[in-house]
Every structure is written in structure tokens, then in C-alpha cells.
């Protein structure tokens, strides 16, 4: 008797991209985040503000989004340096989100919201042409071949970015991982909806004065101390 192996899961099997996706979890930090409900939105709460972020911030300043805030260094520094933007950071890790929220709560400028949410939900959290910039820094590279389907940077993500970004809006990407960087370039080969403003395998040496070289995250400091080159892509919606 021949035993058939289960089919390998593909991107289409990722339930997080579907319109009927619902968050499910049992983590104590979900409830702990409620103490910061003046600026933290959890799970589907973010998706209830599609097209209404200006109302939530009570102004019409540009909306800028960071996917995967990590330990929050970029979000905190950027918000304080540029108080005239509405910054929305998101991450799906519970304990780390709680740690970042505690630090955000102490900042002088309150021009931000923090989402405990998944990056795959980008197009369900923002309306078409609602976002000025998207930042995607040092994501998990999922290096094993069988895990490549978990990489966010592929067609659905590019579709979502193109949808939510304003015309002329920008996607900023940084990674330490050579394999993921090559993967990104491969997925951009036939992409005609974005103009490539920057593409570098050594950002710090090739573009030391660029905006992206002015901010250093916790992970980036570690990579730089190890001599790892920082790869970067900047795309503008046509």
C-alpha cells in the first residue's frame, strides 16, 4: 500500500490573508495590553478603523506604518524626531508588544498608535491610498526552504502595499539576510507598479547619508558589530 505524503502548504493556505480571518490565542499579555488602550489596539480592533485613522488621530497628517516594530527603537526615535506624522507600529508578539507599549507610554509626543496585529492583515487595516509610507525592517528571514512561504515579502504583501499606499507613497525595506534580499529582488522582477528608488547590498557604505542610514535598531546594531552588510530596497508607488 502506498502512503501519500500530505501536500506541502503554500501561501494560499495562510489563513491570515483571508477576509474572514479571526485572531485566536490564549496569552496573558493580551489582557495586560489593555492598560495602554489609549494608544494600543489589539487584534481586530485595528481593522475597525479602515479609512478612519485621521479621525482617530484627530488630524489629517500623513500616516506612516511600521510592520514588525521589534523592540520599538525605530518607532520611538522616528516619532519623536517627526512629530508631524501619524505613526502606526505593529507587531504580533505579545510580550514584546507589552514591553514596547510601556516605553511608548513615556514619550513626549503622542503621535502614534500601536497595533498588536499581523503584517498579513495590512490591506484589512487601511483603506486604499490611506498610507504615506510603509517601513519593513529586519523581518524574520525564515531561512529554511520549507518555511519560505512564511516570508511576508511576496505577491500578497506587494499587492497590499500598492493598495494602501498613496500615489507616490514609499515602501522602505532593510534586511541583514542575503537569501531574503535575493528573494525580494526575485519577486520584484516583473513588478511594474513600483519605481525602485534605491537597491543596495551595502547600505551603510554606499548610502551613508540616506535616511535609512540615520536610524539603527537593536537588531541592526548587532548585525553591524558582526560585520554583516545591511541590504535595502526603497520602492515608490507609481
Q: What residues are annotated to the active site? A: 140
Please, what is the Cα angle at 153 between 152 and 156, to 5 degrees?
Answer: 80
CB within 8 A of 141, min separation 6: which ones? 151, 175, 177, 179, 180
Of 101, 95, 93, the C-alpha closest to 72 is 101
Report the C-alpha gap between 29 and 95 in whole angstroms. 6
Q: Tell me how far the alpha carbon of residue 44 is from its chain's centroid.
A: 17
Amino acid at each position: 500500500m502506498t502512503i501519500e505524503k500530505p501536500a506541502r502548504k503554500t501561501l494560499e493556505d495562510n489563513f491570515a490573508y483571508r477576509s474572514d480571518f479571526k485572531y485566536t490565542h490564549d496569552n496573558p499579555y493580551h489582557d495586560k495590553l489593555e492598560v495602554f488602550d489609549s494608544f494600543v489596539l489589539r487584534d481586530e480592533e485595528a481593522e475597525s478603523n479602515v479609512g478612519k485613522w485621521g479621525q482617530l488621530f484627530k488630524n489629517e497628517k500623513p500616516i506612516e506604518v511600521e510592520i514588525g516594530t521589534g523592540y520599538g527603537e525605530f518607532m520611538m526615535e522616528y516619532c519623536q524626531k517627526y512629530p508631524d506624522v501619524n505613526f502606526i507600529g505593529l507587531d504580533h508578539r505579545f510580550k514584546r508588544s507589552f514591553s514596547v507599549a510601556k516605553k511608548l507610554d513615556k514619550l513626549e509626543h503622542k503621535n502614534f498608535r500601536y497595533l498588536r496585529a499581523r503584517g498579513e492583515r495590512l490591506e484589512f487595516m487601511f483603506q486604499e491610498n490611506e498610507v504615506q509610507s510603509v517601513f519593513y525592517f529586519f523581518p524574520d528571514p525564515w531561512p529554511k526552504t520549507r518555511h519560505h512561504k512564511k516570508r511576508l515579502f511576496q505577491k500578497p504583501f506587494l499587492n497590499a502595499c500598492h493598495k494602501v499606499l498613496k500615489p507616490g507613497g514609499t515602501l522602505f525595506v532593510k534586511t541583514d539576510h542575503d537569501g531574503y534580499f535575493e528573494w525580494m529582488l526575485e519577486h520584484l522582477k516583473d513588478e511594474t507598479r513600483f519605481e525602485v528608488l534605491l537597491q543596495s547590498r551595502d547600505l551603510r557604505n554606499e548610502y551613508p547619508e540616506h535616511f535609512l542610514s540615520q536610524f539603527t535598531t537593536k537588531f541592526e546594531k548587532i548585525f553591524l558589530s558582526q560585520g554583516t552588510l545591511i541590504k535595502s530596497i526603497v520602492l515608490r508607488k507609481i
